């Protein structure tokens, strides 16, 4: 009986030890697995971070490449090409640039990116063009599938309107930051039966899109504001003037919220001729009067524009 008790105790002890050993083994297995899990999660997090950075970097390119694609169309206009559908052409140009980027990113980061430009449109601000791009990207366990909406600034690009309407090599030119119409604008206005078109002999207008800082515009009548605006060649927001994309398509007016600038006359001519705001010269063609009849450099403006700029 005694022996069997010991045996029983011994069995109990052996049993407990075995349970303990199994428990320790299980704990060790669990701990090792946990460490592995944490390590692989860390690797995943690092990979995820890395992937996110690549996508953010790619995203920033869209704005820059969008602007370059618009600029490439403006260059075409200045080289004498006619752009019939600027949105379609800019879209094609951007798609080509993004495809190049996709190849570059594949080589650099081993990431698969597919991009499709869904639309190129005038935005609610006339200083920006809106791009919608569908991006699908995959690298290892990470993936990205989203439609990105990005705006590219058109400030600092050349104004396409004078060249799209009058055509390059037709006798206009530019130097520094000014477009010189020489005899070309006179001939254009004469052709459109504008009275006293000779007043626009040797007229000039700004070459680059620059946003006028004198906002609200009604203050152009204060002190030297108008002179400074003309000297710097600023553009203004206008619901009548055409947007940048429509300027590429030789449209003086369009349904989008757009821009207008002054075409500066420098010839004595007559005081009663077409108002010198660009959408009036290139599309509407209604008359205005010189602000100062004795000064050949004085603007010729209709009452509505005089009022807008506080020059009445
Ligand atoms: Zn201004
Ligand atoms: Zn437009």
Task: Give residue 178's pLDDT.
Answer: 98
Mean pLDDT of the chain: 93
Q: Give me ligand 1 centre to Cα 211, in Å.
A: 8
Q: Give me ligand 2 centre to Cα 133, in Å.
A: 20
Q: Give me ligand 1 centre to Cα 235, in Å.
A: 6
For residue 149, list its beta bridge partners: 132
Q: Give me ligand 2 centre to Cα 66, in Å.
A: 17
Greatest extent of the chain over all pairs of C-alpha atoms, in Å: 137
Tell me which of 282 and 1 has the higher pLDDT: 282
pLDDT, tens digit (0-9, with 9 covering 90-100), for 102-125: 999 999 999 999 999 999 999 999
Q: Give me ligand 2 centre to Cα 161, in Å.
A: 12
This prediction's pTM: 0.86
Q: Give me ligand 2 centre to Cα 80, in Å.
A: 21
Q: Compute the average pLDDT of residues 90-113.
A: 97
Q: Compute the average pLDDT of residues 52-58.
A: 94
Q: Give me ligand 1 centre to Cα 229, in Å.
A: 4
CA 178 vs CA 157, 208, 249, 289: distances in Å: 13, 8, 21, 24
CA 230 vs CA 166, 210, 221: distances in Å: 22, 11, 12
DSSP structural state of residue 282: I
List the domain boundaries for the chain: 41-153, 161-308
Specify whether the CB–CB gap between 34 and 28 falls below 8 A: no
Task: Give residue 230's pLDDT.
Answer: 97
Q: Categorize the per-residue pLDDT at 269 as very low, low, confident or very high, splitting at 50, 70 and 90.
A: confident
Q: Which ligand is nearest to the CA of 255?
A: 2
C-beta atoms surrounding 246 within 10 Å: 23
pLDDT, tens digit (0-9, with 9 covering 90-100), for 143-176: 999 999 999 999 999 999 999 999 998 899 999 9
Q: Among residues of the chain, what percentage have pLDDT more than 70?
A: 96
Q: Which ligand is nearest to the CA of 260?
A: 1
Q: Which ligand is nearest to the CA of 219?
A: 1
Q: Which ligand is nearest to the CA of 213?
A: 1
Q: Does residue 227 have a pLDDT over 90?
A: yes
* Burial class (CB within 10 angstroms; exposed 0-12, middle 13-18, buried 19+) of 92: middle
C-beta atoms surrounding 297 within 10 Å: 14
Q: Give me ligand 2 centre to Cα 258, in Å.
A: 7
Reduced to 3 states, what is the DSSP secondary structure of residue 292? Answer: coil
Task: Give residue 1's pLDDT.
Answer: 46
Q: Give me ligand 1 centre to Cα 265, in Å.
A: 16
pLDDT, tens digit (0-9, with 9 covering 90-100), for 178-210: 999 999 999 999 999 999 999 999 999 999 999
Q: Give me ligand 2 centre to Cα 257, in Å.
A: 7
Q: Give me ligand 1 centre to Cα 221, in Å.
A: 10
CA torsion angle 224 226 230 235 (round to 10): 140
pLDDT, tens digit (0-9, with 9 covering 90-100), for 3-46: 545 556 666 667 778 778 888 888 888 787 877 777 777 777 88
CA distance 164 to 144: 40
Q: Categorize the per-residue pLDDT at 242 as very low, low, confident or very high, splitting at 50, 70 and 90.
A: very high
Q: Give the list of residues 6+ apart from residue 305 with CB closer than 8 angstroms, or none.
A: 275, 277, 280, 288, 311
Q: Give me ligand 2 centre to Cα 253, in Å.
A: 7
Q: Give me ligand 1 centre to Cα 225, in Å.
A: 8
Q: Give me ligand 2 centre to Cα 107, in Å.
A: 39
Q: Give me ligand 2 centre to Cα 58, in Å.
A: 28
């Amino acid at each position: 009986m005694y022996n069997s008790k010991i045996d029983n105790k011994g069995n109990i002890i052996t049993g407990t030890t075995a349970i303990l050993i199994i428990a320790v083994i299980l704990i060790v297995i669990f701990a090792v697995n946990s460490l592995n899990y944490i390590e692989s999660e860390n690797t995943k997090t690092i990979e995820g971070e890395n992937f996110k950075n690549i996508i953010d970097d790619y995203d920033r390119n869209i704005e820059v490449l969008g602007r370059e694609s618009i600029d490439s169309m403006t260059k075409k206009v200045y080289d004498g090409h006619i752009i019939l559908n600027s949105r379609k052409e800019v879209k094609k140009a951007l798609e080509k640039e993004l495809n190049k980027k996709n190849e570059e990113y594949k080589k650099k980061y081993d990431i698969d990116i597919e991009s499709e430009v869904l639309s190129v449109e005038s935005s609610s601000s006339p200083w920006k063009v809106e791009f919608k791009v569908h991006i699908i990207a995959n690298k290892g366990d990470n993936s990205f599938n989203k439609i990105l909406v990005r705006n590219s600034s058109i400030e600092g690009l050349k104004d396409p309107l004078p060249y799209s309407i009058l055509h390059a090599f037709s006798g206009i030119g530019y130097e520094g930051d000014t477009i010189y119409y020489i005899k070309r604008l006179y001939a254009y206005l004469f052709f459109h039966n504008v009275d006293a078109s000779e007043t626009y002999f040797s007229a000039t207008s700004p070459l680059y899109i620059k946003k006028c800082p004198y906002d609200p515009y009604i203050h152009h009548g204060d002190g030297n504001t108008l002179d400074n605006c003309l000297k710097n060649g600023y553009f203004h927001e206008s619901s009548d003037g055409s947007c940048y994309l429509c300027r590429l398509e030789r449209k003086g007016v369009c349904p989008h919220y757009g821009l207008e600038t002054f075409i500066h006359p420098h010839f004595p001519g007559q005081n009663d001729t077409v108002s010198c705001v660009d959408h009036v010269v290139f599309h509407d063609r209604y008359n205005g009067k010189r602000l100062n009849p004795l000064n050949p450099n004085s603007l010729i403006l209709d009452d509505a524009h005089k009022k807008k700029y506080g020059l009445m």
